[in-house]
Structure 1
């Protein structure tokens, strides 16, 4: 069963003398239902990813490659499996991404010094140099996405998105089980 509880925009409006709330006449006070959340969040994420990818193109990076570079900048010398797990992608996808980025000159693979059976991935000078471009592209995308938001609204949005992510990460419900009412 779908959850159709109403969620209001900013202010709920003043109470009328009969005790019922009056709807606000402000333009940004649109009423949404909880079932609007998934499509809205998915579309916003797609738009954000599209703009970020466009901003990264001039540095030679493609969608998803920025995450690999940022992770390696924090902890250079990870395995392909470790990168895949941290980025939430499948191992074959990560292997293809690493191969492409190695051909572009951003990464290099080396056998692990302690266990030659392991291959680790490292940033090259070009890869390390692209971190600043990623930060600038991401910052420009953030500014564009939040141009009409106050600092407080941005902090609340980030807090709420992290809470949503945490809820989804910890309580994934199988699709074939019906919800209890």
Structure 2
């Protein structure tokens, strides 16, 4: 009898979660809004998890890039992280004040500045990895391994499509009533 009650509670809980998801989709109304909201939620949780390490949002990318390849220029860091150079300069300044990175002149070109992790910065790499794993577990809870792979592929296609070419102007609005009439 107890097993049956637990099974029924699980089914009821799953139905409630499905109804909540459908309600969110109806509110969002479109793919862009849904992706943006999921991204914001993901970033909010990630920020909370990283704050324990003393890092702010966006700084984990700098640490991970420098852990993989020491001595990158601020311009190259900005390019790889998809931000503007002034934003990266401010981020590096803040991280330097926090003790995570240091700037040094290049041996090859004294005019060039390169960024390196400090010992404190290197100590955060494992914490970032743990935070990212916890975030991924929370975000994909209830999804199968196959569903996660499909989601990753679909998001990669969406990103590639968006990077492919920006439209010169906004397209004409689509009259959805014509599409519905065709069905």
Q: Which has the higher helix share?
A: 2
Whether 1:153 aligns to 2:147 is yes
SS in 2 for 1:165: helix
Q: Distance in 2 between matches of 1:76 and 1:159?
A: 30
Q: Distance in 2 between matches of 1:180 and 1:56?
A: 42
Q: Distance in 1 between matches of 2:127 and 2:158?
A: 29
Partner of 1:122: 116
Q: Distance in 2 between matches of 1:54 and 1:30?
A: 27
Residue 111 of structure 1, aligned match among 99, 105, 116 = 105
Residue 178 of structure 1, aligned match among 168, 171, 183 = 171
1:76 Cα deviation after fit: 1.1
Instruction: Give the TM-score, by structure 1 length.
Output: 0.78
Partner of 1:168: 162
How many residues align? The count is 154
Partner of 1:61: 55
Q: Distance in 1 between matches of 2:171 and 2:145?
A: 40
Structure 2: gaps of 5 or more residues: 1-17, 175-183
1:131-173, Cα deviation, whole Å (9 max, x unpaired): 1000000110110011110010011111111111111112222
Partner of 2:34: 40
Q: Distance in 1 between matches of 2:148 and 2:43?
A: 18
Q: How does 1:84-95 map to 2 (within 5 A)?
A: 84-95=78-89
Partner of 1:23: none
1:62 Cα deviation after fit: 0.4
Partner of 1:17: none
Instruction: Give the TM-score, by structure 2 length.
Output: 0.78
1:179 Cα deviation after fit: 5.4
Whether 1:83 aligns to 2:74 is no
Q: CA RMSD in A?
A: 2.2
**Following TM superposition, where does structure 1 have runs of at least 4 consecutive aligned residues deviating by more than 2 angstroms?**
27-33, 176-181
Residue 139 of structure 1, aligned match among 130, 133, 139 = 133
